[in-house]
Amino acid sequence: MVRGIREITPGQRTVSDILAEMKQRSVVTPRVATVAEAGTVARLLDAFNREFDTPTPGPESSVHGSGGCWPAER
């Protein structure tokens, strides 16, 4: 065996297997949220921050105290 390379055991996925699987998956293109979705975005941000033990003012503060980061709907 070459140093730094290990043998693949039966049933183990290789990098090639993983890359082939990734190519088959559909890709979702990100988009800019609308003002109507501000509450949903605030809840997601709050949940993300809580999961990583980051202080958060809560979803209500994120929507109402955004300091103008939610522009008027176009």
Average confidence (pLDDT) over 23-34: 81
- What's the confidence (pLDDT) of residue 63? 65
Q: How far is CA 4 from the centre of its chain?
A: 32
Q: What is the 3-state secondary structure (H, E, C) of 34-57?
A: CHHHHHHHHHHHHHHHHHCCCCCC
The identity of residue 20, as a single letter, is A
**pLDDT band at residue 5 using 50, 70 and 90 as cut-offs:** low
Rounded CA-CA distance 74/71 in Å is 8
Full-model pTM: 0.48
Model pLDDT, residue 3: 60
Task: Give the pLDDT confidence of 29-57 residue by residue, as tens digits.
Answer: 788 999 898 888 889 998 998 888 888 88
Q: What is the pLDDT of residue 6?
A: 65
What is the distance between the alpha carbons of residues 29 and 21, in angstroms, rounded to a whole number? 18
What amino acid is encoded at 35 in this protein?
V
